[in-house]
Amino acid sequence: MAENARSHVVSYRVTAMEAAHMQAAGAALTTPRRLNDFARAAALSAARQKVPPPAHPIRHPARRKPTVDMEALARVLASLGKLGSNVNQLARCANQRGTLPTEAVLRGIADEVAVTRNLVTAALAGESPDGH
């Protein structure tokens, strides 16, 4: 990347009145500037007048995407498939009989939901499902 390329993002919030003042000041220049260009120029002008240039710019490492644990995702996907099947069975039972399955069946489904939750939590933490 070129040394003069603008690779850093600086953002900040201002009030509506401050934004209006900045827009008016940028528009009143000999060569009108948009708000972001005016703010950058004003900040750099003030910085150059008050502070000597830094020796070297601070480099921050790029953020990296998390690695994908295919085995963990496969376990989560399988568990979600089982849950989907159970939900379909519940819906079919409720539609055909007008009642829900027994408490034992519902507890089994709740256990599968807990297992899936644990798989997702482990995958997001980068752990194996047994906690290692």
What is the four-CA torsion angle of 28, 30, 31, 35, rounded to 10 degrees? Answer: -20
Question: For residues 100 and 53, is the Cβ–Cβ distance under 8 A?
Answer: no
* 1 is a domain residue: no
d(CA 11, CA 17): 17
Reading the block at residue 59, the tokens are 């480099």
Asked if residue 55 and residue 74 are part of one domain, the reply reads: no
Q: Angle at CA 98, nearest 5°, toward 95 and 99?
A: 110
Asked if residue 46 and residue 90 are part of one domain, the reply reads: no
* 32 is a domain residue: yes
* 43 is a domain residue: yes
Asked if residue 74 and residue 53 are part of one domain, the reply reads: no
* 98 is a domain residue: yes
* 40 is a domain residue: yes
Asked if residue 93 and residue 47 are part of one domain, the reply reads: no
Asked if residue 46 and residue 20 are part of one domain, the reply reads: yes
Q: How many Cα neighbours within 13 Å face the side chain of 123? A: 16
- The percentage of the chain sitting over the pLDDT mark of 70, rounded to a whole number, equals 87
Tell me what the pLDDT averaged over the chain comes to: 79
Write down the pLDDT at residue 8. 79
When computed from its CA atoms, the radius of gyration of the chain, rounded to whole angstroms, is 29
State pLDDT tens for residues 84-116.
887 888 888 888 888 777 788 888 888 888 888
Q: Number of folded domains in the chain?
A: 2
Q: Which domain holds residue 89?
A: 70-125
* 130 is a domain residue: no
d(CA 72, CA 120): 8
Predicted TM-score (pTM) of this structure: 0.35
